Chains A and B, each alone.
Chain A
Amino acid sequence: GDSVTQMEGPVTLSEEACLTINCTYTATGYPSLFWYVQYPGEGLQLLLKATKADDKGSNKGFEATYRKETTSFHLEKGSVQVSDSAVYFCALPKGQAGTALIFGKGTTLSVSS
């Protein structure tokens, strides 16, 4: 079945460092891909998405490019901030539109000043 594999953390960085969180997927066809973020004590929020191959999703300085050749959707940010400390989840739809999501195991990012 479809699945998502993302690098396990925790990832510990200093402020202004570069971030890459790897995510690869296995799926039939070309599903939409998502990155969700969970800040401490809060619910998951959609960070960015890409709906087709070669699309680049971006938000809050984060970017991810949908690469079908490598079945990857790596999350990147050029300069992280302390406020970026959170758990990041890569995800894809379980089935057709309107269905649940399949999540990776989550990567905890901790940024220190």
Chain B
Amino acid sequence: GAVVSQHPSRVICKSGTSVKIECRSLDFQATTMFWYRQFPKKSLMLMATSNEGSKATYEQGVEKDKFLINHASLTLSTLTVTSAHPEDSSFYICSATIYTGDSYNEQFFGPGTRLTVL
């Protein structure tokens, strides 16, 4: 099946610093990538939708200046958490999909990145 990787898998940083998380589709070109945030014992919450070569679409309540998303190619999207604070600590998950025009498009998920802000 299609493989999506994330790097790093785990990162610890000091408050006020910026952290970049990469999401790569390893064996396919993704039409669209999504960024989710998973809180403890909570579901995944969609943060933004990222299409190659265009600006990301952010969900309501997500600060676009804090969570910068760049989708430079069909195989790479990056999420940069700027000026991170302890409340940004979470598990960030990306997924990638290939739009085929069908009523159903499977999403392939990365393994996630655990961010801890001290």
Q: Are B46 and A100 in contact (CB under 8 A)?
A: yes
B49 / chain A contacts, CB cutoff of 8 Å: 99-100
Nearest CB of chain B from residue A64's CB, rounded to whole Å: 15
User: With A89-B44, A94-B46 in contact, do A101 and B111 touch (Cβ < 8 Å)?
Assistant: no
Q: Are A105 and B42 in contact (CB under 8 A)?
A: yes
Q: Whole-angstrom distance between the alpha carbons of A49 and B107 in the complex?
A: 12
B6 / chain A contacts, CB cutoff of 8 Å: 43
| Size of interface on A: residues with Cβ below 8 Å to B | 23
Q: Are B106 and A46 in contact (CB under 8 A)?
A: yes
B101 / chain A contacts, CB cutoff of 8 Å: 97
For chain B, give the interface size range. Answer: 20 to 34
Q: Are A43 and B112 in contact (CB under 8 A)?
A: yes
Q: Are A97 and B109 in contact (CB under 8 A)?
A: no
Q: Are B105 and A44 in contact (CB under 8 A)?
A: no
Q: Are A97 and B104 in contact (CB under 8 A)?
A: yes
Nearest CB of chain A from residue B16's CB, rounded to whole Å: 29
Which residue in A46, A98, A100 is a CB contact (below 8 Å) of B31? A98
Q: Are B104 and A43 in contact (CB under 8 A)?
A: no
Nearest CB of chain B from residue A3's CB, rounded to whole Å: 10
Q: Are A89 and B99 in contact (CB under 8 A)?
A: no
User: With A51-B104, A97-B103 in contact, do A45 and B109 touch (Cβ < 8 Å)?
Assistant: yes
Q: Are B32 and A98 in contact (CB under 8 A)?
A: yes
Q: Are A106 and B43 in contact (CB under 8 A)?
A: yes
Q: Whole-angstrom distance between the alpha carbons of A39 and B111 in the complex?
A: 10
> Could you tell me which A residues sit within 8 Å of B by CB distance?
32, 36, 41-46, 49, 51, 89, 93-94, 97-106
Q: List 12 A-B contacts (CB under 8 A).
A: A41-B111, A43-B93, A44-B93, A51-B104, A89-B43, A93-B104, A97-B104, A98-B31, A100-B46, A103-B44, A104-B43, A105-B42
